[in-house]
Amino acid sequence: MPKLRNGDLFPGLNFDAVGGGVISLPSDLAGSFGAVLIYRGSWCPYCNAQLAGFSRAADALAGVGIKVAALSVDDKAASVALVEKHHLTFPVGYGADADKVAAATGAYTNEDSHFLQSTGFVLDACGKVITAVYSTGAIGRLVADDVVGFVRYVKSHK
């Protein structure tokens, strides 16, 4: 499974969204910088911390023009509970097919429980990858403050 590199167009992927509808990537983020957060599951304390951090940073992210979308293999009930627990305001997708997402993005999977490992992408306004973070385990992921700072840097060097 090849990894996405800077400059690659993020692949077209669709996921059922908590609250109804479908998340369509990268088109739902088009016209803005985007952060795509693939998380292990609602049971993962590191993922909970990451998603809660992005939720707390909503104003800072919006202030520099960053939209966020997250997804996992979790079922609808677990995803709804996670969104409610952390008051997440960005779209959260559920029921992702681990093999399909891994084939399209290069994300690592856990074979025992068959979930996606934490993977994050920052996209430009055209849906191209400007940075990617791949983790093979529980730690190693995008942090909201880093994404805000990175996008500020990118904008200041255009």
Whether the per-residue pLDDT at 120 is higher than 70: the answer is yes
Q: DSSP alpha helices (H): ranges in the chain?
A: 45-56, 58-63, 76-86, 98-105, 144-156
Give the Cα separation of 98 and 111 in Å (integer): 10
User: pLDDT above 70 covers what percent of the chain?
Assistant: 99
* pLDDT on residue 112: 87
Whether the per-residue pLDDT at 155 is higher than 90: the answer is yes
CA 126 to chain centre: 16
The pLDDT-based confidence of 20 (bands split at 50, 70, 90) is very high
User: What is the pTM (predicted TM-score) of this model?
Assistant: 0.97
Give the Cα separation of 8 and 108 in Å (integer): 18
The residue-averaged pLDDT of 34-39 equals 98
Neighbours of 56 (CB within 10 A): 13
Give the Cα separation of 6 and 27 in Å (integer): 18
Whether the per-residue pLDDT at 18 is higher than 80: the answer is yes
* pLDDT on residue 53: 98
Dump pLDDT digits (tens) for 41-90: 999 999 999 999 999 999 999 999 999 999 999 999 999 999 999 999 99
* pLDDT on residue 1: 65
User: pLDDT above 90 covers what percent of the chain?
Assistant: 96
Whether the per-residue pLDDT at 151 is higher than 90: the answer is yes
